[in-house]
Amino acid sequence: QVQLQESGPGLVKPSQTLSLTCTVSGGSINSGGYYWSWIRQHPGKGLEWIGYIYYRGSTYYNPSLKSRVTISVDTSKNQFSLMLSSVTAADTALYYCARSFSNYADSWGQGTLVTVSS
Amino acid sequence: EIVLTQSPATLSLSPGERATLSCRASQSISSYLAWYQQKPGQAPRLLIYDASNRATGIPARFSGSGSGTDFTLTISSLEPEDFAVYYCQQRDNWPFTFGPGTKVDIK
């Protein structure tokens, strides 16, 4: 059973860069057929797919965030990461990492709350 | 971007009753739709993918139907653990998008 765990700062200052890492256990990020995603949920609101990466490095970013997002993978550590630059209060959200097959998220981390505030 | 709308926003039912949730897409998405369940303080859980296929470990009381623009999630007989928020998600077009959710609460 694959498990995912997000880690990173819970508080980021406006205009700075949000950085989160997702550690995958119980399965290899190298295994084909899966993409590795970041999805966020604003407090009390719906879900937004930020982007995803294949283990070979190909990435897909939501056009609404594309200019500020970078997703990368480190197969040696079985991790993938999210960087979101120039954050504002509107980026305050619960950030989830997830495994997706056929572009459906079938395994999720527990989520990590990131607050943007000075 | 494909917009998903869900109805009703809230569904108040009693345990044992049948729940019928609707998801409508702003354009045809073939059968590329999933349903997720989210309970307070938890991550969403995949229930149904490709409109009608149950994900691993999902009870048979959950079923999905539809294609094109109109989709339905049916819970045949509500169990106490089924009271939650349900989201639909399309994967026909990037960016993948979610509906706003339907909350199923206890009447």
Q: Is a pLDDT exceeding 90 seen at residue A12? A: yes
- Chain B residue with Cα closest to A106: B46
Distance CA A16, CA B101 (A): 31
Distance CA A6, CA A25 (A): 12
Query: Which of B1, B42, B49 has the CB atom closest to A104's CB atom?
Result: B49
Distance CA A42, CA B8 (A): 21
| pLDDT value of position A32 | 79
Minimal CA separation from B96 to chain A, in Å: 6
Cross-chain Cβ contact B95/A96 below 8 Å: no
Cross-chain Cβ contact A102/B50 below 8 Å: yes
B87 compared with A1, residue with greater pLDDT: B87
A31 — pLDDT class (breaks 50, 70, 90): confident
Query: Which of B45, B49, B98 has the CB atom closest to A47's CB atom?
Result: B98
A97 — pLDDT class (breaks 50, 70, 90): very high
- A55 secondary structure, DSSP code: T
Q: B101 and chain A: CB distance < 8 Å anywhere?
A: yes
Phi, psi for A29 (deg, rounded to 5)? -65, -20
Mean pLDDT of A14-35: 94
* % of chain B surpassing 70 pLDDT: 100
Contact in structure between A19 and B60 (CB atoms under 8 Å): no
Which residue has tokens 């345990």? B15
Query: Which of B43, B91, B95 has the CB atom closest to A104's CB atom?
Result: B91
Mean pLDDT of A4-9: 98
The widest CA-to-CA distance across chain A, in whole angstroms, is 41
B38-59 residue pLDDT tens: 999 999 999 999 999 999 999 9
Minimal CA separation from A31 to chain B, in Å: 19
| pLDDT value of position A118 | 95
B89-98 residue pLDDT tens: 999 999 999 9
Contact in structure between A6 and A109 (CB atoms under 8 Å): yes
| pLDDT value of position B93 | 96
A44 — pLDDT class (breaks 50, 70, 90): confident
A35 — pLDDT class (breaks 50, 70, 90): very high
Q: Is a pLDDT exceeding 90 seen at residue B6? A: yes
Q: Is a pLDDT exceeding 90 seen at residue A43? A: no
A48-88 residue pLDDT tens: 999 999 988 899 999 999 899 999 999 999 999 999 999 99
Q: Please list the residues that pair with B102 across neighbouring strands.
A: B86
| pLDDT value of position A33 | 86
Distance CA B29, CA B73 (A): 16
Minimal CA separation from B33 to chain A, in Å: 9
CA torsion A79→A85→A88→A89, rounded to 10°? 0
Contact in structure between B101 and B87 (CB atoms under 8 Å): yes
Distance CA A20, CA A36 (A): 13
Give the residue among B44, B59, B1 at the shortest CA–CA distance from A104. Answer: B44
